[in-house]
Amino acid sequence: MKALVLYYSKEGGNTEKIAKRLAEGTGADIERIETVLDYNAETVDEQGKKEVDEKFMPPIKQLTKNVKDYDVIMLGTPTWWYSMAPAIRTFLNSVSVEEKIVVLFQTHAGRPGNAIGDMRALCKGAVLADENIIEFDLNTNELVTDINEIDAWIKKIKDDILWN
């Protein structure tokens, strides 16, 4: 099966680290979802809260990969105010994942909220499989979730989904 890891994250962010590990471990293609306008580092928390509360969908750049060409989509988000990043909401409202196998993952720093549930609700017609919630330390950005658990999850995706 042809697989694509899509994720929203700041460059070098925690979600990007997991997305890259997932792509490397499964042999999937990978692409970062980017907003048209960058967030201001000084106001991103306030703006992010407002966008999550209002279910705002910021414009995102066109992907270079065509989701239609893939059987499996692995979609990752950081947790923004107990939900998915607004760019993920934009993606899921603009691209069909119907009849795709979708693996959801989120990163968080101690309060996972309902990001996975919120993403699940927007994956209409998809077959959802093997989601994961991965924790990083709020102060140090060090991984809290055991790396062996993450690697076992990646192996399970590779063995049970991609090579069936």
- Per-residue pLDDT reduced to its tens digit, 82-138: 999 999 999 999 999 999 999 999 999 998 999 999 999 999 999 999 999 999 999
Fill in the amino acid letter for 60. Answer: I
Q: Which domains does the chain have, with CATH numbers?
A: 3-162 (3.40.50.360)
Residue 163 tokens, joined: 């090579």
26-59 as b/e: b if 16+ CB within 10 A: bebebebbbeeeebeeeeeeebbeebbeeeebee
pLDDT at 22: 98
Chain mean pLDDT for the chain:
95
Model confidence band, residue 68 (pLDDT cutoffs 50, 70, 90): very high
Instruction: Please provide the DSSP assignment of 7-66 as one string.
Output: EE--TT-HHHHHHHHHHHHHT-EEEEE-BSSPPPTTTHHHHHHHHHHTT----BPPPSS-
Asked if residues 33 and 88 have their Cβ atoms less than 8 Å apart, the reply is yes
Q: Which residue has the tokens 């990007």?
A: 16
pLDDT at 64: 97
Q: How many CA atoms lie within 13 A of 57 on its CB side?
A: 9
pLDDT at 103: 98
For 149, counting Cβ atoms within 10 Å of its Cβ (0-12 exposed, 13-18 middle, 19+ buried), the class is exposed
User: Across-strand partners of 133?
Assistant: 106
- Helix and strand element counts for the chain (H, E): 5, 7
